[in-house]
């Protein structure tokens, strides 16, 4: 099941969501195929260090982070892809690489690619490499209050 912290948060806000179980998959494209979800609707979480702080960048699975756009948005050249050893301990209830895009639950900034802002729903890893969670984009946006901007390139 999805991580308890996330489920409790969503339940306390009376959010409707669906859990999608799938065979183990690790890349965003593998997950989309295993769960029969479009690569545009599936959101992937990329961990970055921005100005010395951990942050989440949320992109459609079919897109790649443009670091120059993120640097401009953050107002610092000090932006880099975070290594697992830097963030693994921040999500003790999650498998590495399967963190849900709820940085607000972990005290970190969340940046979302504006292409996701065009979707009706958002589907994302729910803490394990065998489960996704699907909910409405408007509920996600309201609960997380991410900074939304153009952040990606097509793969």
Measured CA to CA in angstroms, residue 121 lies from 17, 20, 143 at distances of 10, 14, 14
Asked whether the CA dihedral 44, 57, 100, 11 is positive or negative, the reply is negative
- Class for domain 4-154, per CATH? alpha beta
CB atoms within 10 A of CB 27: 11
| pLDDT score at 152 | 92
| pLDDT score at 1 | 45
pLDDT above 90 (res 134): yes
Task: Kindly state the average pLDDT of the residues 1-5.
Answer: 68
Q: How far apart are CA 19 and CA 8, in angstroms?
A: 14
pLDDT above 90 (res 138): yes
Which tens digits make up the pLDDT trace of 72-124? Answer: 999 999 999 999 888 988 988 888 889 999 999 989 999 999 999 988 999 99
Q: What is the residue extent of each domain of the chain?
A: 4-154
Q: How far apart are CA 84 and CA 89, in angstroms?
A: 9
Which tokens belong to 139? 């509920």
Which tens digits make up the pLDDT trace of 27-77? Answer: 877 787 777 787 777 899 999 999 999 999 999 988 999 999 999 999 999
pLDDT above 50 (res 140): yes
Q: How far apart are CA 39 and CA 29, in angstroms?
A: 7
Q: Is 11 exposed, middle or buried (0-12, 13-18, 19+ CB in 10 A)?
A: exposed
Enter the pTM of the model.
0.91
| pLDDT score at 28 | 78
| pLDDT score at 155 | 65
Cβ contacts of residue 30 below 8 Å, gap of 6+?
none
Task: Kindly state the average pLDDT of the residues 5-24.
Answer: 91
The DSSP code for 139 is H
Q: How far apart are CA 50 and CA 130, in angstroms?
A: 29
Closest CA to 13 of 103, 145, 139: 139
């Amino acid at each position: 099941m999805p991580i308890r912290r996330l489920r409790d948060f969503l339940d306390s806000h009376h959010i409707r969501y669906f859990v999608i179980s799938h065979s183990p998959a690790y890349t965003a494209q593998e997950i989309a195929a295993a769960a029969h979800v479009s690569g545009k609707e599936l959101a992937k979480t990329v961990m970055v260090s921005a100005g010395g702080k951990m942050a989440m960048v949320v992109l459609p699975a079919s897109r790649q982070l443009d670091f120059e756009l993120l640097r401009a948005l953050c107002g610092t050249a000090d932006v880099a892809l975070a290594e697992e050893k830097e963030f693994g301990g921040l999500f003790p209830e999650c498998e590495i690489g399967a963190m849900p895009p709820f940085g607000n639950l972990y005290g970190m900034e969340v940046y979302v690619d504006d292409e996701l802002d065009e979707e009706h729903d958002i589907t994302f890893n729910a803490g394990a490499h065998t489960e996704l969670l699907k909910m409405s984009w408007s509920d996600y946006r309201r609960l997380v209050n991410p900074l939304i901007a153009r952040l990606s390139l097509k793969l």
